[in-house]
Each structure stands twice: as structure tokens, then as C-alpha cells.
Amino acid sequence: MQASRRTFLKVCATGVGSSSLTLLGFAPGAALAEVRSFKLARATETRNTCPYCSVGCGVLMYSLGAGAKNVHGRIFHIEGDPDHPVNRGTLCPKGAGLVDFIHSENRLTQPEYRAPGSREWQPISWDDAFTRIAKLMKEDRDANFETTDKDGRTVNRWNSTGFLAASASSNETGYLTHKVVRSLGMLAFDNQARV
Amino acid sequence: MTNHWVDIKNTDLVLIMGGNAAEAHPCGFKWVTEAKAHRKARLIVVDPRFTRSAAVSDYYAPIRAGSDIAFLGGLINYLLTEDKIQHQYVRDYTDMSYLVKDEFGFEDGIFSGYDPEKRKYDKSTWGYQTGPDGFVLADPTLQNPRCVYQLMKAHYSRYTPEMVERICGTPKDAFLKVCGMIAETSAPDRTMTIMYALGWTQHSQGSQMIRTGAMVQLLLGNIGVAGGGMNALRGHSNIQGLTDLGLLSNLLPGYMTLPGEAEQDFPAYLAKRSPKPLRPGQLSYWQNYPKFFVSTMKAWYGDAATAENNWCYDWLPKLDKTHDILQVFEDMSNGKVHGYICQGFNPLASAPCKVKVSGSLSKLKYLVIIDPLATETSEFWQDHGEYNDVDPTKIQTEVFRLPSTCFAEEDGSLVNSGRWLQWHWKGAEPPGEALNDQEIVAGIFLKLKALYKKDGGAFPDPILNLTWKHRQPANPSPEELAKEFSGRAIKDVLDPKDPTKVLVKAGEQLNGFAELRDDGSTACGCWIFAGAWSEKGNLMARRDNADPYGIGQTLNWSFAWPANRRVLYNRASCDTEGKPYDPNRKLVGWDASSGKWGGSDIPDFKVDSSPSDGMGPFIMNPEGVARFFARDMMAEGPFPEHYEPLESPIATNPLHPDNPKARFNPAARVFKGDWASMGEADQYPYVATTYRLTEHFHYWTKHVRLSAIVQPEQFVEIGEELAAAKGIKAGDPVRVRSKRGFIVAVAVVTKRLKTLEVDGKPVHTVGIPIHWGFKGVARNGFITNTLTPFVGDANTQTPEFKAFLVDVEKLPVKV
């Protein structure tokens, strides 16, 4: 039998087992080892876009994990989306390494706090962090909020705390952030587009 | 981008200048390759470095960093002198014939109205002459000496090929070769695209560099056509979207602007932003500003926003000045800013002059970091040896570091450079306790709101009344937020032509911004995104890649703002009769039988306005046409003029050697304390320019193993001549020093950086990639922005990272 590389992969990937392999010239021994199946075949495919530059390449993310309670899916492979009209399946050297971004050892995993003058981080709960941050913000806002300026004009601004918004967060995050920031009266507000 | 990535395949000529798409936007650059392969398009690259874009170009011309206006001004002079312009386009679609005020003038590098003390212009003379009917006066013969054409011709007549060579260091024959190739696209059926990026924006005159490029494109009739346009290749995946949503000091969503403190009168605020047409029969689409504004305020403040309280106009903070990032760090260094929140932003690495940023952060009372990764900013207080030499015990800032999700762990949309809002889906849970950004913003806001509700405090009204209608208040969903910015009807929206007809029922999602009203009956958080999520569903999630016209107009893939339009100003792709200049690349055209415009794109025009109405194609401008003369809209003048970078290797501006006021941008803002931090060429003789590598993305991918393997270590590029003069060999450690600090890196000695002859002397360029820091899995390195000057573009305040001065010295080789 003539088997092209493609046929061979197909046969192995579907894992149909001994009969096809016999045809290919692999005689099964006494103990039948399972043929390693193609991992992507059992993976969940999720569509996303690359978070780096602004080409907006489509990517396909492959994860394992059945989705059952207490089973956390893990993305193990990312490749270009061949349906995407711009990148048509390709990725650049950065995009090709995206899976290492998701699993970087420098991903932050818990809220941390550094006290004044301290040399180290200490863990803090989300609720304690939110409570403490809100208290600091309120103290600063209440002390420095300008309802009117020196000429008596209504200005309703808070210039002593600033906010730098992201460059890769979603529109939905950006919209919510803008709304919240302006409701507090902040003008010291910028995003990465500035630099 | 006025156009989009795939459209690049429709071009005849690509000019890459102020960017390096082959390395910084590789998968977008493939459309240049496509145009070269299938349309026989040619590629010109003008850059201080022989980049990988240059390596595959048909022609490469070197240029000194920071001199692009001189080059492009010389190109304008060439096109006007050789009469290589698209005559009909320029006559009918631009302001060439308009008459400018007699008082407007330009002398020895300075425009009329300059105040050297304030370093600002009084722009009252920068305008048109108007007739008794209020319309602008024009001379269609272009003979009047006060018409824009004549003024512009005179302005750029000084930019001779010899002057270009003297300022830019570009050999005259190379410059003329580029001019000749570009001039060919003045034919109505030939087009050029300009692709630029931070190589144009990051200068003290960056906005004017981009403007000069746009003026070239207008002269050639290349705006609004397939394969043409001014194409900004944005640097990050969603800075387009975050800019569209107005996350900048002085903006509101959809390029609306916050009021200044003098704007106490609400109707006057609206009137100023709703300009009446300056010529008869023009649309001046910004006249709809009140509809956009009121709809945003209804989205934000719901029932609290009423006609009686001017839709909560007083609740908006009023600007005293623009608080851009440089201004904020200046204020922080002076103790005026006490708290700072960094959401996915690493200013210690990304902002200029690290020593100033670090000192400013040390003065904060509190700093909140929201990020998926351990950034340098989050540890600005930590001693990291030579890379961050600080004493933590002396820094009293409280720091919170809050872990957020990354792209793979959330749903939502991003806007790419081509203005496509593309939805993406969550593929996994985040690590550990990380939360998504919306939960973190909600977490802080809801605590604040509870405190204000319980204890009261300064002006709580906007906080207590902010729209927050989420099924899980602590976790606003992307779907809910997308629907909110896309917009919905609060009451039935009626057809203005037939009020018995309901266009959208109360409670339904809107189809687009044409349905917005200024009477409070619609809510829309960002008018240019209106219709992204209509009753048809989430259009941003569409994935039909069909290209029925064969020119890459995939109208059913995602959603492009505005109105799903793919090429802006596309009415200008047709002649005055409404016929496409090139029928093979038709975007839109006038169909007399149906009385409508149509084609492969959504017309950027009043869809039923017949060509005989005489409406101009630039409907957002009150003129109806595009402007060469920028009126009072730019900080440093209506026509771009070349000025030297703040740190320049030559002592004078060769255009104005006797006027020190015109040496560098007369309107650039330099803070008092920062003048002393600017270096001169006697101590820092080499031009430095910073850039990205194709293997790395900003300061993120040093945390990524694959990227760290392929580019593990910090280096700088030095040309062979400079290396020989300094005895530097490839692989030697070198110290690069500016007046603000130093970095140490490995030398890469290269042919890619040529020594240029500028104003009679040799100028060497040092190339400095930006990607290293003291956190990551790559080898630690110095933050490149240790070196860069604390000055920005006079309009945008984008820092001047692309042209400054350094010295280089060889260090003893470490054993």
C-alpha cells in the first residue's frame, strides 16, 4: 500500500487501531499499545484575537478539560484562525508564543499589599483590598474635590488622584472604566494611546 | 486607519515612513506582499534604519530621525512645482481655493500671534475670509495671493531638494527618486497608501508630521479610495478602541470633548461643537453633536439626566488644563497628585525619563496596580540592583497589586487598526484568584458608592446615580456593557419624516447613530459604536468572511465603526458626477435610477444626495472638503513647518538659522524643571531612536518564555562607522548615556544604520530596542526610557521617544 504522509496522519489520528496499521505494515504484537491520538481532536476550540499589536489577528485557542465542576480547562495550544480575513491562519513570532503569555510564571495570582516603607509584599483578600482602596480614594476625594474654582465657576473635579487605563483591555472594560472615572470627577485620566 | 488591513492589497504604491510594519505588524504587512505579488505594487521605505520593511522594498531612502516634515514638505514642493497633483480632486474636494485672513502671516519660522513667554499662539488670525452671508470666500481660479493654494505653494517653496538633503541627510538623488515614484499616483486611477506608526507620533512635532503626510495624500487624490488612505498602525490591540471610547483626559466617548472650566453655559458648549456649514449645501455632520451628547448622558445617568438639569452637564468635570500622562507625573512630582491607579499600564517602563517617573511615584500616598503580569511599575519601590536602585524604606507609598485576567480568560471586543470591533471568547479560567477588569472596577466603585451613600461626602450625586443595571452588580457582563455603549431606545424612536412611523420601539437596541435623539429618548454610551449590538444581535461577533466584490470588503465580518463602514471618506473615490475614478476598485458610486449611493462599502455620505447637490465628500468638516490649511486646530500652525527635535545634533534649524525661537517646536510644552534635563550635541553627539523588535511586544513578552528564548538579552544597534571610531566590536558591552541617565547593553554593530551628512557634518544614529526591564523571564535589563526626554508633541503630548541625544562608550568586557 502506498500511504502518503497525510493518509498516515489521518489513520493515526483517528486511532482506528490494528487493521489499518496492519495494512501499513505494522504487525501488531501480542500486546496492543494504544496509538496516541491527536490531542486537538479532543480539545475545545475557542475563538479569540491576539492581544498584542493592532492587526487584530484571529486566533484559535485549544483547551483540555471537560467543563465539569472542579475541572479547570487549560489552554495548551494557540494557532492562527484560517477563517480570519486579515491573518488567514498566520501568526507572527509573538503571536505564535501566546500560550506562554497565558501560562507565564509572572502571572499574578492573588491580591497583594505593600505597606509604606516595607521591603515586601503581603497577601490581602479582595474584600480588604477594595475596602482599603475605596477608603483612601474617598479620603483624598473628599479633601481635594473642587466644586467651584476660585472664580466661583462650577467645575466638579477631582485632580489629586489619577487613572491610567490599559491598552489591551476590552471595549467593555474601557467603557465601564470611563463612566466610573468621570462620575468621580477625575480629569487626570489617560490611556496607552498617549504614549 | 482611514482604510483597513486587507485593503492594502488594492494599492499601487506603499509608502512606509514612521513605521516598520514588516517587524511591528507582520501579519498586516502581508497585504503589502499581496499587493506587490498581484498588483505589481511597489514599496518605498523611508527610515533612519534599514529595517526588514526596507529589506523587501523596491526603494529605500535613509532619513535622520525627527526630520520627516522637511522630507514631506520637500515632496509637497516637488508635487506643486512639477504639477503632479490630482487636479479635479484638489479643486473640488479640498480648501485650495479658500481665502485666508489678511492678518495671517509667517515670518522666520513663526506664525502670526506668537507669545514667546507662554510658548503659545493666539490663533485668531488663523482663519478664512468670510462674506456677508457668513460663508467662506473662495477663488476657484486659485490666482488670489491669499488663497490656500498660493499660501501653501509659497510656504513649501523653501523646501528645495538641497534643503531636504541638508536637514534630513537624505541624498538628493534618493529624495528625488522617491518623489518621482510617488508623483505617479497623482493619476486618478493610481493610488498610494501611507503606513505609519509611532515613528511619526513620538516626536515633539509628531502630529504635524502626520498632517504633512495627509496633505501629500490629498494632493495626489489618495484619500477615500481603495488602496489609499492615511493608515495609522496602532501599537496595541485596543488603543484604537480605548481612544474611540474617549479614555483620555479631555475626551468623552466618540471624540466628543469635555467642557473647559470657562464653558459654564450648556447651549454654548453644544453650539461650539455643532458647527454650521462654512460653505453652501454642506452637511457638517457634527451638527448632530447634541444627539450624541445627550444620548451618552442618558446612558451614564439614566433618569437623573433631564432636560431641566441640562442632562447632568454640571456633573461632568470641567477642564483647567489637559491632564495627559506627562502633566500628571509633573503634578505628582510637585506633590499635587496623591493617588494613582494603573490598569494594565506600566508607566515606569512606558513613560519618558525614568528617574522623574520613579521619583514622582515615590511621592504618592497610594498606588493601585491592576494587571495580569508583575510589572516594573508595581515594584518601583523595590531594590532591583543596578536596574532599579532605590531604598524601599524611604518610599512611603502604599501599593496594591491586583491580579486581572488576560485576553484568553474573558469575553469582549477589541478594535483593530482598521476600526473593526471584533468579539472574542473566554477559553479558560484565570489563574489563582485573578478577577476580570470589570469585576475589579466594580469592586472598587461599589465600595465607594456604599461609603458615599452611608457617610455622604464631596458631591456624591454622579456616583450615586451612575447607571448600574447589571444582573450581577459586582460583575457587570461584557454583553450588558456592549449593549449599553451600542445604544437603545428609551421611548419609541419616531421617523422625523413621518411621525406616525416607529423606527425603534422603546426598550429595543438601536440600529445606528442616525436613530439618536437629543430629547432624552435614546441612550447610547458611544455614538460611533452605535449599532454594534442591535436587535439583530452582536454584530461584532460576525464571522462571514465572504468578499463578494473581490477587493477585501468583508462587510459581514465583525463590525466596523462608524456604521460598519470600511473605508472612510469613500465618496471621494468618485468624481463630481459620482462615477468611481477606478471602476475596478469601486467602493461606492451614485446610482441615478435608485437615487442612492451604493457599492462595496457603506457610503460615507448622505445616501440620497445627488452629485448635482454639490455636497462635498468630507461631511464631518463644516467646509465639506478636506483642509490643507488647518485653521486654528493645531498648536504650532496651520501649515506644518519643520522644527528640530528638542534635542538636536545641529545647532540651528537650517530653515531659520538666525531665529533661535524657531529651532524647535515653538509650541512644545517643556516644564520649568525639565529644561535642565535636555542635552546638547557637544556632550551627547549621537541621535538615538527607540523601537520594537519583531520577537517582542512592549514590556509584556519578556514574561513569555518563547519570546525570551528568541530575544533573551538587551542590545543596542550601532553603525559600523561609529563603532570603528569608538573601537566597539559586535558583542562588546556599551554604556549609552543621555542627560537623564544611562543604560548598559550589548553592542550590535550593523550596516543598517548609516552615518548621514546633516547640515555639513556627519551624524551617527544609535538604535535602542525598548523591551527590557527588571521583571520577566528574559535576562534583566535597563529600562530604555531611562534615556528619553520629558517632552511631548505640542498637540497630543505624546513623548519624543524617536529622536533624542546620547553618548556611547565602550565598557570593559565582563569575564
| A97 closest CA partner among B132, B706, B676 | B706
A37: left (phi over 0), alpha (psi -120 to 50) or beta: beta
The rounded distance, in Å, linking the Cα atoms of B694 and B679 is 30
The rounded distance, in Å, linking the Cα atoms of B147 and A142 is 55
pLDDT value at position B690? Answer: 98
pLDDT value at position A18? Answer: 43
Q: How confident is the model at residue B463 (pLDDT cuts 50, 70, 90)?
A: very high
Q: Does B554 touch chain A (CB under 8 A)?
A: yes
- H helices of B581-699, in order, are none
CB contact under 8 A, A184 and B239: no
Could you tell me if B749 and B723 are in contact, meaning their C-beta atoms sit under 8 angstroms apart? yes
Helix (H, G, I), strand (E, B) or coil at B302: helix
Number of Cβ within a 10 Å radius of residue B94: 27
What tens digit of pLDDT does each residue of B487-501 get? 999 999 999 999 999
ipTM over 0.95: yes
Mean pLDDT of B398-420: 98
Place of cell 523571564: B777
pLDDT value at position A13? Answer: 46
The rounded distance, in Å, linking the Cα atoms of B214 and B208 is 10
Measured between CB atoms, which of A110, A138, A157 is closest to B451? Answer: A138
pLDDT value at position A11? Answer: 42
- Global pTM reads 0.95
CB contact under 8 A, A168 and B238: yes
Is pLDDT above 50 for B530? yes
Phi, psi of B644 (to 5 degrees): -75, 155
| B698 closest CA partner among B771, B589, B806 | B771
pLDDT value at position A16? Answer: 42
| A171 closest CA partner among B344, B481, B184, B668 | B481
pLDDT value at position A1? Answer: 40
Is pLDDT above 90 for B252? yes
Residue of B nearest to A190 (CA): B248
Percent of the residues in chain B that have a pLDDT greater than 90, as a whole number: 100
Percent of the residues in chain B that have a pLDDT greater than 70, as a whole number: 100
Strand partners of residue B259: none
**How far is residue B425 from each of residues A46, A59, A77, A94, B239, measured CA to CA in Å?**
6, 11, 15, 20, 19
pLDDT value at position A29? Answer: 55
What tens digit of pLDDT does each residue of B349-359 get? 999 999 999 99
pLDDT value at position A24? Answer: 54
pLDDT value at position A40? Answer: 84
**What mean pLDDT is reported for chain B?**
98
Is pLDDT above 90 for B520? yes
Residue of B nearest to A129 (CA): B400
pLDDT value at position A36? Answer: 76
Is pLDDT above 90 for B608? yes
The rounded distance, in Å, linking the Cα atoms of B446 and B574 is 53
pLDDT value at position B218? Answer: 98
Could you tell me if B76 and B159 are in contact, meaning their C-beta atoms sit under 8 angstroms apart? yes
pLDDT value at position A32? Answer: 61
Q: How confident is the model at residue B267 (pLDDT cuts 50, 70, 90)?
A: very high
- The conformation of residue B211, written as its DSSP 8-state character, comes to H
The rounded distance, in Å, linking the Cα atoms of B515 and B646 is 48
Mean pLDDT of B94-121: 98
Helix (H, G, I), strand (E, B) or coil at B290: helix
pLDDT value at position A8? Answer: 43
CB contact under 8 A, A154 and B351: no
Q: In what order do the strands lie in the sheet with B559-560?
A: B412-415, B420-424, B559-560
pLDDT value at position A14? Answer: 45
Residues of chain A with pLDDT under 70: 1-34
Helix B437-455 and helix A126-144, axial crossing angle in degrees, nearest 10:
50
pLDDT value at position A71? Answer: 79
Q: Does B467 touch chain A (CB under 8 A)?
A: yes
Q: Does A42 touch chain B (CB under 8 A)?
A: no
Q: Does B453 touch chain A (CB under 8 A)?
A: no
Of residues B420 and A25, more confidence is placed in B420
Distance of residue A91 Cα from the nearest chain B Cα, in angstroms: 6
Measured between CB atoms, which of A83, A92, A164 is closest to B325? Answer: A164
Sort out which chain B residues have CB atoms less than 8 A from A177's CB and list them.
Answer: 247, 343, 437, 441
The rounded distance, in Å, linking the Cα atoms of B573 and B588 is 7
Q: Does B338 touch chain A (CB under 8 A)?
A: yes
The rounded distance, in Å, linking the Cα atoms of B761 and B649 is 9
Distance of residue A34 Cα from the nearest chain B Cα, in angstroms: 29
Is pLDDT above 60 for B381? yes
Could you tell me if B331 and B367 are in contact, meaning their C-beta atoms sit under 8 angstroms apart? no
Distance of residue B5 Cα from the nearest chain A Cα, in angstroms: 7
